Structure 1
């Protein structure tokens, strides 16, 4: 249901409803840059931006607010202060021992290969089951919220998630057995 352009939404209520999802997405974006401690700031920036210039005609507030938090997190990463400061120096990570760069490269390559394998394995699921698993397990969203979006009940989302995880486990075992 679309909101009329003149209606000003209750941003406080929307914030309370979607703040956890906004924080998780912002933290996820910032984690790789080592800036997860800015996740709450990115969420706050998104809310302030919406308060300053209230959006209209939004059909899915959660999606809109999560996307706004994501972009504010990306803005944090791209900010001049972060770019010019470079990575933080941690004495515990650089204690003078010789680090084997080859081990780091091998570890990164293994992570990329694992991600590719997961993508291949996910292809055994149809779109609805993939969505249910990703939303409930990956994004840690409440089953009832996912159910509402998929047009099913909360228990049905639980069944879909369990079935999907069983299928993924079997596919993974099958692939490991052939290697």
Structure 2
């Protein structure tokens, strides 16, 4: 007696929901649940190309095939998104930027910022708040004015005056250091 393959169309119709659920759950973990139908389709096409013999549980077989095709999709996506092979020769060259100069600039900026912070002591609390909130933090004058119970124009005056005092104090301290 010759082997008669089962009706794969009927088996698909009977077990497609289970196949889809398993494929979707596998692909969902990779954020690709929308590809579950494609994984099920790939599984059925693969089985149709070479139907297996002696399958005892068709539901388990079809669900496993769909799960494996879903995993294949995830793995192939990882390969595609991993990028080209790392070629050391193209990356093994000196960087054109001068790291020492960048570090020196950063240190200078920190020193100037610390110096400016020390100079804030010449301002009273209201002027310090006005200049810090508007110049350093970039807050709108109207908000700062509300907090200080003054007009926005007054905040501008306070900021201008405070910045002038800070410049003068910084200049005075720098001259004292350089002498």
TM category, shorter: 0.3 to 0.5
Larger Rg: 2
The TM-score with structure 1 as length reference comes to 0.43
The answer to which structure, 1 or 2, has the higher relative contact order (CA under 8 A, 6+ apart) is 1
The TM-score with structure 2 as length reference comes to 0.43
Structure number with the higher helix fraction is 2
